[in-house]
Amino acid sequence: MVTRIAPTPSGFLHAGNRFNFQTTADLAREYAIPLALRIDDVDAARFRSEYVDDIFNTLHELRIDWEIGPRDTADFEAHWSQRKKSAYYRAELALLRGSTLETYACRCSRSIISAVPSGGCPGQCRTAQHELVAHESALRVHVPTDTTISVNGVELNLDSELGDFVIWRRDDLPAYQLVSVVEDRDLGTTHIVRGEDLLASTAAQIFIASSLGADNLVTAHYVHHPLLTDASGAKLSKSRQNGNPSHT
């Protein structure tokens, strides 16, 4: 059994991230299981090494220790960076495409997709049989209507929550859902702590888990904690030095 802290170095951490770290460390102590640190840096465009420094500084400030994972920024760059594993993730994508799940290339532009609130492909890409071409199309996993996923005994309708979700991005990078499942499979993760905004992501990951040999995610224990908000009630988001908030 193992649990993990899995921050993304796409901005400076905020109180909500620190709350997530502390909650995960408390869970590790409660179950007497090892704690791993995994830094999800696959999104190279938003990566900055000072964000990685900030992760280590924050963990030291909180006096959180971890048994598995990089010890510092240099160790992370030398041995743990996901930015250097794209060939590995591409092989995992081939595994998923060879499974019983249906995937298809989606050529819809960002503006077309953002106009549809429900997510998924608003066009007819599923039946169009497009080729997957870097910087022209993304690959989606088809979620059949009324697909329900059980997360800790709570039934979620994945079709209405997320729709056909992206597994390989238009910018030719693996999507978060693929990376997270592969990394949690390789680590053997059994306990996962996330903000409640990631409940649909958890359901998506359970949906593809068995196709990637990650049955540990089907049976894992999930904790989805409430998100911290600022004084006005808005969700906290990471800050960048240029002042633009990023998604967490």
Which residues are near Zn ion by CB under 5 A? Answer: 106, 108, 121, 123, 125
Rank residues 18 and 142 by Cβ distance to Zn ion and give the closer one.
Answer: 142
Nearer to Zn ion, 59 or 106 (CB): 106
| Beta strand segments in 145-237, E | 148-151, 154-157, 165-168, 191-195, 221-225
CB of 204 to Zn ion, least distance (A): 17
Q: Which residues contact 233 (CB under 8 A, 6 or more apart)?
A: none
DSSP β-ladder status, 138-141 and 165-168:
antiparallel
Which lies closer to Zn ion via its Cβ, residue 122 or residue 245?
122
Nearest Cα to Cα of residue 126 among 144, 111, 109, 114: 144
Minimal distance, residue 126 CB to Zn ion, in Å: 8
CB of 138 to Zn ion, least distance (A): 8
Least spacing, CB of residue 125 vs Zn ion, in Å: 3
- Specify the amino acid at residue 88: Y
What is the amino acid identity at position 18?
R
CA distances from 243 to 16, 73, 131, 201 (A): 18, 24, 38, 27
Give Dmax (Cα) for the chain: 53
Nearer to Zn ion, 97 or 130 (CB): 130
**Is the CB of 37 or the CB of 125 nearer to Zn ion?**
125
- Residue number, 91 or 115, with CB nearest to Zn ion: 115
User: Nearest distance from residue 165's CB to Zn ion, in Å?
Assistant: 12
Sign (positive or negative) of CA dihedral 195, 227, 119, 89? negative
Q: Nearest 5°: CA angle at 102, between 95 and 157?
A: 115
Find the shortest distance in angstroms from Cβ 172 to Zn ion: 17
